A and B are shown apart, each in its own frame.
Chain A
């Protein structure tokens, strides 16, 4: 009888959360988590104190659940960087390939998990690296991620991700010294 009661309770609460719960971080993450594949084009602008004008780069983004994210830059110079679970691989500026484990370099993890964990709807990982704030509504939401690690916070103040539904639209990184980058994401229609 107790087993039956538990099932009943679960059924009720499940129905309740689907129907009545207000929209928020958990439902958004659950929605994002359901997306198994996504691809997009991007245009990124970098504003930096050492530059006289912002530099622009373009390329494609591709995500496959749960842990693969690839950023392929096409202009001004072809370059590619891929994240597979714990492994970050790519090409250095001088052409040599590189490979790092995020677990070996937590500060790199704190930079890349913002986007990947958001796309994966992985609230636990996101919460490990950032303080999270969500504003807006399902059709136009704004996620503010503040790094928890002190050393990372010395470099990066805030990562802000704007989205609509399960699609990311804009990713901004505000660095502590005032530099910032802005990536406009245009989802490829499937």
Chain B
């Protein structure tokens, strides 16, 4: 054992132990929000917050299909009854009516809640008008249902409030529960306590729904035919995670097995196979530990992707073993290839360092992981691996095809015109698509299938949940201020409904008016004596018995003297959930959300709100697409910056332009041709393809460096090209397997890397004729 080995081995073992120690203590998370951006503009923060843990993110929409409406309704009722007591849910609603708590809140506080409470309404003339309407109501066919409120509420404040609410949610009730318009589906709405990104909690909630459904199916006649469908952000999260787990496990198992078989076939020694994995495994453990130390937690996706990203470290051992010969042994080979290897790893690190500047915490974690992982893997290859190689290791048996391979490499430069033609064609393709090169729709990143998205839209339509696209956002320093601002926005929006610019909207002040407005409504109510006098003169000439309205005088007097309503007044009502989704405190600031329905003239709405400072109209679709555009732009900038740094690094290392270009030219051509291939058939590029290209540069640069080093002659040259081919085959197999997945992120990165690295190797062979001289 060498002197270096005597020092390196204990350091390696201690480092491994430390890493494992840290990993055992660090919390792991699957909270998807780590991959949501960190610090966008304020309006976009609203969007991100809504995506993260807004009430919308906690909704699970459940549908029951496949049987007569009555059967579906029975199932819906049983499931709702089973779910209501569970702590997982803050709300279960299947349309079985407004809860008693809600009715009480609206009824008891009608004079503080109703928008119609004005001084004019309680004058003799105003009351006379209301009483005339009451008389008409009493003589109508609906009297049996509605006349009960005439005495206590002659001005009809409760009725008006309920009508406004009903106008918001146009729902269909059949057999006592919510159904789709045609009755072929019963609908149930569940709101989880846990936010949508808490996938474990969402999975548990979904499990509870399935269990309740199975129980209901067993106890309702004819319910075996009933199908359960569930959608919502949490459900999608659970499904995506499951699919991701499945795909990553399946395809990386396929890839690993193939790579292991490949290496075994070449090495013919299990021990060498294990040794090949030593750098990458050590690197991965060190990388996870570093992320844990830095961030205090490690995201599951960081590990999943990170290991893929530092898969390149397998190549280090391959270069070392496959290029060793009996004469110089691993130590001698290492001395020979060390400068190239070191430069290659530095180039990769520069490429991955771009991720450190990303706005996504998840990507920053990936950056830290890959940089630490690669550096450690390189160090292990350099200092530890030679000491572990058996003394009698005299290199691999020379591959039979190696001489032929080297001859092929030697003749490769003849293909230059073909390569240039290919690159030119790719450039033309890219140019043709330059207008629509990128997918800038957030939905393109979604792993949710179009069919599932359609089901989600249908269910949303059934329950009258606004298909939130346009939202008015008001921002202020405290709750009272933001409620007042929201009221001003409501006042500006109201006339636009009649004008046809939108069909309606919801607003937080409907459920909790600002103090100012409540006090104004209290002031609008006359004192008891005045009101009694006004009522008496209004009743003059009408056939109503005056004593019928005693409850009205009592209620008005009580409302005038009552405390104003606060958020606590709504405790225990379903309306409080509604309010909490529309009135949000964030970092000491308050935000009021007014979701709009059926906006047909956004320009007019924008104009109407222009005078209100702190109020904005937010087009969520456009805004989220803009957000993605921003991140894509950021990724592009970072990728270009990374490439620039790589060029500078090569320049500093070679101290000459020539060799630098020799390394960069094949990479550039490989990237161009890959881009061209990706756009074939009008397909658009995603942010994931961009990350894939970053990997192509990181991995491909190693090939180019070996070619640039030259000396690809004789047995040594044969071993070098064989090792490069082997390394590339492992990469293509590994990433190619990922590209079989249906998940956009896996397909995007997998396909790009598999194609791009293979092209890098071929381009390096073609463009570096000096290599074989």
Contacts and interface: CB of A to CB of B under 8 A. Distances in A.
Given A44-B139, A46-B139, A93-B133, A175 B543 contact: no
Contacts of A173: 141, 144
B141 A46 contact: no
B144 A51 contact: no
A-side interface mostly:
mixed
Interface in B209-236: none
Nearest to A57: B139
Contacts of A8: none
A108 interface: yes
Q: Most chain-A CB neighbours within 10 Å: which of B138, B144, B548?
A: B144
Contacts of A54: 543
B173 A50 contact: no
Contacts of B457: none
Contacts of B138: 46, 48, 50-51, 55
Contacts of B454: none
A103 B135 CA distance: 27
B544 interface: yes
A75 B26 CA distance: 81
A154 B147 CA distance: 13
A52 B138 CA distance: 13
B139 A50 contact: no
Contacts of B133: 93-94
A50 B172 contact: no
Contacts of A94: 133, 156
A50 B151 contact: yes
A33 interface: no
B172 A101 contact: yes
Interface string B141-163: 11111010011000010000000
A55 B144 contact: no
A122 interface: no
B174 interface: yes
B544 A156 contact: no
A107 B145 contact: yes
Nearest to A115: B141
Contact of A108 (B142, B172, B548): B142
Given A50-B548, A175-B144, A103 B139 contact: no
A124 to B, nearest CB: 16
Contact of B145 (A57, A71, A111, A179): A111
B142 A51 contact: no
B170 to A, nearest CB: 9
Q: A interface, how many residues as a size bin?
A: 20 to 34
A104 interface: yes
B134 interface: yes
Given A46-B143, A50-B150, A104-B172, A77 B548 contact: no
B141 A52 contact: no
B71 to A, nearest CB: 17
B142 A48 contact: no
B32 to A, nearest CB: 38
Interface in A128-169: 155-156
A57 B151 CA distance: 22
Contact of A52 (B132, B147, B150, B545): B545
Interface string A51-69: 1111101000000000000
Contacts of B134: 93
A55 B543 contact: yes
Nearest to B134: A93
B141 A156 contact: no
A51 B544 contact: yes
A93 B132 CA distance: 8
A82 interface: no
A112 interface: yes
Interface residues of B, number: 26
Contacts of A155: 144-145
B699 to A, nearest CB: 62
A128 B711 CA distance: 95
Contacts of A53: 543
A156 B144 contact: yes
Given A50-B548, A52-B543, A53-B543, A77 B143 contact: no
Contact of A103 (B140, B145, B150, B172): B172
Nearest to B548: A50
Contact of B141 (A48, A49, A105, A112): A112
Contacts of A111: 141-142, 144-145
A184 to B, nearest CB: 14
Nearest to B174: A103
Nearest to A83: B141
A101 B141 CA distance: 16
Contact of B136 (A77, A108, A156, A175): A77
B173 A104 contact: yes
B144 A108 contact: no
Contacts of B174: 103
A29 interface: no
B557 interface: no
B144 A52 contact: no
Interface in A6-59: 44, 46, 48-55, 57
A81 interface: yes
A181 B142 CA distance: 12
A113 B144 CA distance: 15
Contacts of B147: 48, 50, 179
B137 interface: yes
A132 B156 CA distance: 35
A51 B145 contact: no
Nearest to B116: A94
A50 B145 contact: no
B93 to A, nearest CB: 16
A77 B132 CA distance: 10
Contacts of B156: 93-94
Interface in A71-100: 71, 77, 79, 81, 93-94
Contacts of A93: 132-134, 136-137, 156
A134 B132 CA distance: 38
Interface string B519-560: 000000000000000000000000111001000000000000
Contacts of A175: 143-144
A50 B151 CA distance: 8
Contacts of B544: 50-52
A111 B548 CA distance: 25
Q: Most chain-B CB neighbours within 10 Å: which of A46, A53, A156?
A: A46
A50 B545 contact: yes
Nearest to A95: B133
A151 B135 CA distance: 24
Nearest to B171: A104
A134 to B, nearest CB: 23
Nearest to A54: B543
Contacts of B132: 77, 93
A157 to B, nearest CB: 10
A183 B172 CA distance: 32
Nearest to A156: B144
A55 B135 contact: yes
18 contacts: A50-B544, A51-B138, A53-B543, A55-B139, A77-B132, A81-B141, A93-B132, A93-B134, A93-B137, A94-B133, A104-B172, A105-B173, A107-B145, A108-B142, A108-B145, A112-B141, A175-B143, A181-B143
Interface of A: 44, 46, 48-55, 57, 71, 77, 79, 81, 93-94, 101, 103-105, 107-108, 111-112, 155-156, 173, 175, 179, 181
Interface of B: 132-145, 147, 150-151, 156, 171-174, 543-545, 548
Top 8 nearest A-B pairs (CB, nearest first) are: A93-B133, A155-B144, A50-B548, A51-B543, A46-B139, A93-B136, A53-B543, A52-B543
Given A108-B142, A155-B145, 9 more contacts: A44-B139, A46-B143, A50-B544, A52-B544, A77-B132, A79-B140, A93-B134, A104-B173, A175-B143
